[in-house]
């Protein structure tokens, strides 16, 4: 068996199939989320269903919706053969509910349960996913969307949540390729799938009408794939990033880049005509644009197009004041294949790169491999922090801060949109700033999950 099957093997095989699968949607979620093994038809129908790990048996997990200012209350019931926990990605919540096994809670053992209960301050598009051995558990399917509704939602004809993912399957039997942490993927770009899809299927489609206005909530739930996307037969605006509203809608003119864990909220109008197919298209590894989600047009919603949408109402506490007098931190992203790192500190001792690699560790953040006893930084509650990220590796990394959102600081000192995950490119230093207003132990890590598991994880303390 070879680990080098390409996605093309699947694409070729799927030509001529037209299977559609509907996203299981529940308006009100259950009061429990049960992590369990299930089967899902991710691949074209001629393939066997894939054994996946799920919440409540669906891939992705149940779509949860809650009103802004409301509470998320879910009991995680673990019916998996291994311990697990749930992280509520992008939520500015109580640290005890953050779901990071080994830092904010003990992992929930098989047969065990854990009650998550927290208030949600911010409206927007968020998601939840396993945070115990994430590089395995998220790859197996443990993730879902969590939408927080604005008190006054924008006027759209429909609101579609699109969970983008990729799966690395063995084309022989459509089961997950193992191991999940192959040294080759850990030390390079991460686990990239050979089958791409949306909402748990390789060929996601939703019928729309001409001139309909849709809100599309894009979530990248993949382990490591950076999606490069365009609109076809759709005219649109970006209205929020990582859940947080932009001050004004931005027309989509160029490609949209969606790194692992990032979200983009779009408002789009269907410009394709009756009988045509609009689509969200992605740029594939073989330089082809292919549909990531199809929107066949049947009928007309109205004769004319509408005016551009208004901005979403802002969330509370989006300002990052005082960046001139802010505390400065420097974080260097290091290691990996073709990197310049000769070694780093691991478990309190200095190690050469070879020795690290022998233990499955390939990356470091500012000279430290993985979680340390003492935090990367101890911050005072309420202080503003500027953190410079220098990427000394040969790869892009999707750097994610738990518990607080940040803004990128441009060279001229202006602040970018508020985000929780930012893509850092090799040799392009960038700076982020945030107010450390949420007390607790918060991870800062790469959301290429194999990278996080092989060294690229740090934490900060806010007290
Ligand atoms: Cu979405 Cu620490 O992760
Ligand atoms: Cu990374």
Per-residue pLDDT for 16 more than 70?
Answer: no
Per-residue pLDDT for 285 more than 70?
Answer: yes
* Residue with token string 């099957």: 5
For residues 63-78, average pLDDT: 97
**Per-residue model confidence (pLDDT) at position 12:** 38
Pair 388, 330: CB distance under 8 Å: yes
Average pLDDT, the chain: 93
For residues 147-175, average pLDDT: 96
The model's confidence at residue 18, banded by pLDDT at 50, 70 and 90, is very low
Per-residue pLDDT for 448 more than 50?
Answer: yes
Taking CA atoms only, the protein residue closest to ligand 1 atom 1 is 89
| Ligand 1 near 261 CB (within 6 A) | yes
Cα 226 to averaged position of ligand 2 atoms, centre (Å): 11
**Per-residue model confidence (pLDDT) at position 3:** 30
**Per-residue model confidence (pLDDT) at position 23:** 46
Instruction: Starting at the earlier edge strand, list the strands of the sheet with 430-435.
Output: 363-365, 327-335, 384-391, 430-435, 406-409, 415-419
Pair 74, 31: CB distance under 8 Å: yes
For residues 58-80, average pLDDT: 97
Cα 298 to averaged position of ligand 2 atoms, centre (Å): 42
Of 101 and 7, more confident: 101
Distance set, CA 163 to CA 3, 28, 205, 210 (Å)? 26, 18, 13, 24
**Per-residue model confidence (pLDDT) at position 283:** 97
Per-residue model confidence as pLDDT tens digits over 234-278? 999 999 999 999 999 999 999 999 999 999 999 999 999 999 999
The model's confidence at residue 1, banded by pLDDT at 50, 70 and 90, is very low
Ligand nearest to the CA of 220: 1
Question: How many CA atoms within 13 Å lie on the side-chain side of 243?
Answer: 30
Contacts of 22 (CB under 8 A, 6+ apart): none
Of 291 and 8, more confident: 291
Cα 222 to averaged position of ligand 2 atoms, centre (Å): 13
**CA angle 444–256–260, rounded 5-degree value:** 30
Per-residue pLDDT for 147 more than 70?
Answer: yes
Rounded-to-integer distance, Cα 15 and Cα 144, Å:
28
**Per-residue model confidence (pLDDT) at position 33:** 97
**Per-residue model confidence (pLDDT) at position 25:** 46
Rounded-to-integer distance, Cα 445 and Cα 260, Å:
12
Q: Which of 365, 345, 360 is nearest to 446 (CA)?
A: 365
The three-state secondary structure class of 428 is coil
Hey, how many other C-beta atoms are within 10 angstroms of the C-beta on 366?
16
Per-residue pLDDT for 19 more than 80?
Answer: no
Contacts of 263 (CB under 8 A, 6+ apart): 90, 124, 125, 126, 127, 217, 218, 219, 220, 240, 241, 242, 243
């Amino acid at each position: 068996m070879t680990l080098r099957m390409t996605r093309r093997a699947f694409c070729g095989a799927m030509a001529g199939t037209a299977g559609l699968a509907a996203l299981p949607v529940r308006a009100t979620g259950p009061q429990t989320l049960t992590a369990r093994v299930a089967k899902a038809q991710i691949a074209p129908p001629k393939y066997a269903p894939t054994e996946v790990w799920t919440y409540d048996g669906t891939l992705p997990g149940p779509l949860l919706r809650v009103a802004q200012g409301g509470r998320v209350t879910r009991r995680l019931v673990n019916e998996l053969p291994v311990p697990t926990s749930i992280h509520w990605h992008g939520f500015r919540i109580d640290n005890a509910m953050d779901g990071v096994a080994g830092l904010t809670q003990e992992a929930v053992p098989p047969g065990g349960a854990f009650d998550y209960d927290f208030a949600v301050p911010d409206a927007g598009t968020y998601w939840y996913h396993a945070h115990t051995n994430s590089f395995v558990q998220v790859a197996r399917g443990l993730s879902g969307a969590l939408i927080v509704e604005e008190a006054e939602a924008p006027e759209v004809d429909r609101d579609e949540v699109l969970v983008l993912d990729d799966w690395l399957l063995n084309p022989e039997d459509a089961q997950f390729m193992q191991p999940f942490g192959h040294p080759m993927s850990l030390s390079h770009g991460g686990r990239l799938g050979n089958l791409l899809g949306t909402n748990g299927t390789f060929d996601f489609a939703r019928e729309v009408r001409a001139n309909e206005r849709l809100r599309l909530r894009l979530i990248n739930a993949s382990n490591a794939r950076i999606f490069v996307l365009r609109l076809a037969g759709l005219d649109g605006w970006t209205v929020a990033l990582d859940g947080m509203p932009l001050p004004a809608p931005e027309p989509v003119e160029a490609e949209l880049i969606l790194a692992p864990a990032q979200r983009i909220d779009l408002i789009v109008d269907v410009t394709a005509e009756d009988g045509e197919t609009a689509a969200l298209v992605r740029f594939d590894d073989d330089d082809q644009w292919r549909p990531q989600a199809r929107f066949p047009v049947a009928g007309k919603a109205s004769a004319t197009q509408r005016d551009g949408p208004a901005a979403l109402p802002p969330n509370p506490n989006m300002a990052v004041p005082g960046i001139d007098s802010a505390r400065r931190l420097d974080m260097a992203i290091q290691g990996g294949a073709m990197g310049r790192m000769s070694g780093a500190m691991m478990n309190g001792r200095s190690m050469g790169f070879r020795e690290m690699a022998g233990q499955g560790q390939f990356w470091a953040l500012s000279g430290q491999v993985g979680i340390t006893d003492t935090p990367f930084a101890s911050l005072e509650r309420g202080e503003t922090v500027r953190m410079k990220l220098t990427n000394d590796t040969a790869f892009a990394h999707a750097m994610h801060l738990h518990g607080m959102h940040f803004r990128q600081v441009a060279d001229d000192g202006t602040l970018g949109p508020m985000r929780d995950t930012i893509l850092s490119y090799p040799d392009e230093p960038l700076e982020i700033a945030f107010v450390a207003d949420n007390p607790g132990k918060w991870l800062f890590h790469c959301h290429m999950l194999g990278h996080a598991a092989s060294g690229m994880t740090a934490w900060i303390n806010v007290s």
